[in-house]
Structure 1
Amino acid sequence: MTGNPRSGDDGLLVRRAGLAIAAQIAAAVAATLLVVGLLAYSLTIRAEHTAEERAVRQAALAARDVTDPGAGVVLIEQLPDGPVRASDDAPEDLIRLNPRALPVGRSATRIGSRDYEVFAVDHPDGRRVVGMLDVTTRRQSGERLITSLLWAGVVGVAGAALLGVLFGRRAVRPLGRALDLQRRFVADASHELRTPLAVLHTRAQLIARRLSRDAGDGDRRPADERLVEHVSQLVADTRALGEVVEDLLLSAELQGKPGAGELVDVGELAHDLVRSVRPHADERGVALRADVGGDQPLLVVGIRSSLRRALAALVDNALGHNHPGGTVTIHVRRRAHEVELAVEDDGDGLDPAQAEQLLQRFARGPQAGGRGRRFGLGLALVREVLDAHRGSLTIDGRPGLGARFTMTFPAAMHTPDRLVNHAGDE
């Protein structure tokens, strides 16, 4: 069972919405034209056909001889002793017709290039009377009507599609603006927060250094030790907050410019995360390891902190749904032009039918309770990171048999110059 994230390209989402509106308008117009066409055909051609059937039936049933057939109807009569008579205006082809060869009742036949509505009846005196009406003109009119309706439908649907595209673009334009404003707000707010957070972090560092220097001049009291500990934590917190703000700014830039990220070795990222999270996993009694394939760097273009956060969310989810003695493994592989980053565990597992639901905010599996309070945001955040990195997520698992969450990213080319620049940035 797979759960694929929505596309991260806001422009693509807006265009798809516009095309969906155009398709719905075209479908509505096509349905309307179909109904109108059927009504037009029923009210004209079918009505004429019914009148033709009635005319030949009445003429054949009421005929005493062939001299009074009725308007447009040709009568052919075969007497009991064999002679055949026809109306005075009967075409030569009909005069040579054998009435006994036609079935009793209504039928249709083609003689030469003409189409006829036919009704044959056997009278009590032994005569067989056949009424025939030339319906060639009506048939040709019906064909022309159907052709006209088809062409009108094609032109109407094409015009409706063009109008739908136009109106669809207008309808979704506010949505595009809203998405663009949201992205700009995140970028602008993050940019404005960078400076005050940098100042706050610097001041916290200065205070920590001053306290450490003062503590080195003499004996440190317990209160001073607690103060140094709090200030050190403050430095760590301001650094983490600055990283979050920087991450938001880079994510907004990456969504607007897909190639604006840096080269990230996800194999090294997996090893780094295992080293960081292993104490927490050991505390829960779960073995955590990384399985990185190949000797070459496994590179993707993106934001290291965002990718680390997504991977950490999957690892945290796996640890939260595992049991003491279980195992969580991070697999990193290169597949053709893609890089796969998978987190596999042998814990509670999941119902494949819940895969898409688990990607929604505040959604939690049935086994989520009982191992710490979980808010159901981790997988939703993973999905957002994948959106920004043009990635996809595949979820596999079975209840009680573990689960596997696989993130797939477009692989980046190995460019030593960029790797050197990235290392220099570090």
Structure 2
Amino acid sequence: MTHSANRIVDSDTLAVRRASLLVGTRIAVACAAVVAVVIVAVFVYILSEISPGELFEPVPDTDNLQVSAVNLLWAAAVLGVALIILAGVLSWLVTRRAVEPLGDVLRLQRAFVADASHELRTPLAVLDARLQILQRTLPAGDPSSSVVAELRGDAKDLIHIVNDLLESAEIGGAAAHDTDVTDLVAAVDDAVQSLVLIAVDQHITIEIDATQPAPVRVPASSITRCVVALLDNAVRFAPSGSIITVGVAVTKKMVTVTVRDRGPGIQGIDPARIFDRFAHSGAAVDSGGHARTGFGIGLSLVREIAVRYGGTVHVVDSSVAGTAIRLTLPRSRQA
């Protein structure tokens, strides 16, 4: 295993780096603008005080130092460039130091999520087991059977949420290991099959468009987990009777999976933020979808997995005609 494979790079680290770069760039641009204004003012003043013919004539001062206007302008320009570069370097250093507490907070948040999830898994598993025993002991036709079944469903939902939280925290805090080549198309097909029943119940069709193998060095379970999360989100907002398409494209270096629904689009939140943990969207509108809001932990987990294996995930487009989300992973050259 190479040294680079052991390096821990998660979405939180990348977010801190992006914030540092963004703030540092803005400060550097502001400083550069101030310096540029000063230099331009010097140029304008010098050119307004002398005629064009005097630009190259040396101007003596009281100490017998002779300098031409052109040399003075060149000196001012060089000094301005040096000050701009210095401002950029200092802005970058200061910004990196300033955002370090943000990185610490994100790491503490991840640790808290992992600890809380571990603590919740056991009591939830016990609760589900007891509800299962109660469900089996109820006589046939008991009016409380439906209520117990709903309670079991609620308990399972909580267990899934806790598992997602724990998986997100653990993936983000661990380095990626070398893995065998996986056919992404097969993993995508597994994900589609696991969501077909839910989609059929809501009269939604899921179609796959994959014409060739897509080799990647990502565990099949991780790919399936990502596509399940993307499809779950699409089914949640897709109107009844619509079609969800899953397209797989292969280039020389990358493999992409694009999930497109015909829902109302992302509402109530910046599309770029739907992959943040605990981000919530607006409710589905009249064009279809469920009333429950939020993108849950699932999409943040997709980003964690994508970043871990050198990929990305982003919203391609989102409008009243639907939403398309694309997962991109490096293509493996070894079959």
Q: TM-score normalized by structure 2? A: 0.69
Q: Is residue 357–residue 363 contact of structure 1 (8 Å, CA) maintained in 2?
A: no
Please give the secondary structure, in 2, of the residue aligned with 1:222: coil
Distance 1:155 1:237 in 2: 63
Distance 1:243 1:413 in 2: 35
Of the candidates 96, 121, 144, which is equivalent to residue 169 of structure 1? 96
Aligned to 2:39: 37
Identify unmatched segments of 5+ residues in structure 1: 1-6, 51-106, 109-114, 117-134, 416-426
Work out whether 1:392 is the aligned partner of 2:313: yes
- Kindly state the Cα deviation for residue 168 of structure 1 after the two structures are TM-superposed: 0.9
Of the candidates 226, 229, 237, which is equivalent to residue 309 of structure 1? 229
Q: Is residue 265–residue 300 contact of structure 1 (8 Å, CA) maintained in 2?
A: no
Work out whether 1:149 is the aligned partner of 2:76: yes
Deviations 1:34-77 (A, max 9, x none): 33334445555643x26xxxxxxxxxxxxxxxxxxxxxxxxxxx
Distance 2:293 2:226 in 1: 18
Distance 1:371 1:189 in 2: 35
Identity, % of aligned pairs? 28
Aligned to 1:159: 86
Aligned to 1:245: 162
Distance 1:165 1:197 in 2: 47
Deviations 1:226-256 (A, max 9, x none): 5566555545543442232122111112222
Aligned to 1:123: none
Of the candidates 258, 262, 281, which is equivalent to residue 362 of structure 1? 281
Work out whether 1:200 is the aligned partner of 2:127: yes
Within-5 A mapping of 1:156-305: 156-208=83-135, 211=137, 220=139, 222-223=141-142, 226=143, 230-231=147-148, 234-259=151-176, 267-294=185-212, 300-301=218-219, 302=222, 304-305=224-225
- Kindly state the Cα deviation for residue 330 of structure 1 after the two structures are TM-superposed: 3.2
Deviations 1:258-281 (A, max 9, x none): 526988875455444544544454
* CA spacing shift, 1:258–1:316, aligned 2, 3 Å: farther
Aligned to 2:258: 342
Of the candidates 219, 223, 246, which is equivalent to residue 330 of structure 1? 246
Q: Is residue 264–residue 319 contact of structure 2 (8 Å, CA) maintained in 1?
A: yes
Identify unmatched segments of 5+ residues in structure 2: 1-8, 60-65
Distance 1:156 1:205 in 2: 71
Distance 2:178 2:292 in 1: 30
Aligned to 1:131: none
* CA spacing shift, 1:304–1:192, aligned 2, 3 Å: farther
Work out whether 1:371 is the aligned partner of 2:288: yes
* CA spacing shift, 1:154–1:9, aligned 2, 3 Å: same
Distance 2:230 2:108 in 1: 25
Distance 2:214 2:75 in 1: 66
- Kindly state the Cα deviation for residue 197 of structure 1 after the two structures are TM-superposed: 2.3
Please give the secondary structure, in 2, of the residue aligned with 1:32: helix
- Kindly state the Cα deviation for residue 312 of structure 1 after the two structures are TM-superposed: 1.7
Please give the secondary structure, in 1, of the residue aligned with 2:288: coil
Distance 2:87 2:114 in 1: 39
Match of 1:12, as an amino acid?
L
Within-5 A mapping of 1:47-86: 47=49, 49=50
Match of 2:161, as an amino acid?
V
**Higher radius of gyration, 1 or 2:** 1
Please give the secondary structure, in 1, of the residue aligned with 2:68: helix
Q: Is residue 349–residue 398 contact of structure 1 (8 Å, CA) maintained in 2?
A: yes
Match of 1:147, as an amino acid?
W
Distance 2:333 2:130 in 1: 41
Q: Is residue 395–residue 405 contact of structure 1 (8 Å, CA) maintained in 2?
A: yes
Q: Is residue 161–residue 297 contact of structure 2 (8 Å, CA) maintained in 1?
A: no
Distance 2:214 2:289 in 1: 39
- Kindly state the Cα deviation for residue 331 of structure 1 after the two structures are TM-superposed: 3.6
Please give the secondary structure, in 2, of the residue aligned with 1:136: coil
Deviations 1:109-150 (A, max 9, x none): xxxxxx79xxxxxxxxxxxxxxxxxx7213942123222212
* CA spacing shift, 1:294–1:228, aligned 2, 3 Å: farther
Please give the secondary structure, in 2, of the residue aligned with 1:393: strand
Q: Is residue 8–residue 255 contact of structure 1 (8 Å, CA) maintained in 2?
A: yes
- Kindly state the Cα deviation for residue 372 of structure 1 after the two structures are TM-superposed: 5.3
Please give the secondary structure, in 2, of the residue aligned with 1:14: helix
Match of 2:228, as an amino acid?
R
Distance 2:116 2:177 in 1: 19
Match of 2:113, as an amino acid?
V
Match of 2:300, as an amino acid?
E
Give the root-mean-square deviation of aligned CA atoms: 4.3
Please give the secondary structure, in 2, of the residue aligned with 1:369: coil
Aligned to 1:62: none
* CA spacing shift, 1:249–1:306, aligned 2, 3 Å: farther
Match of 2:218, as an amino acid?
V
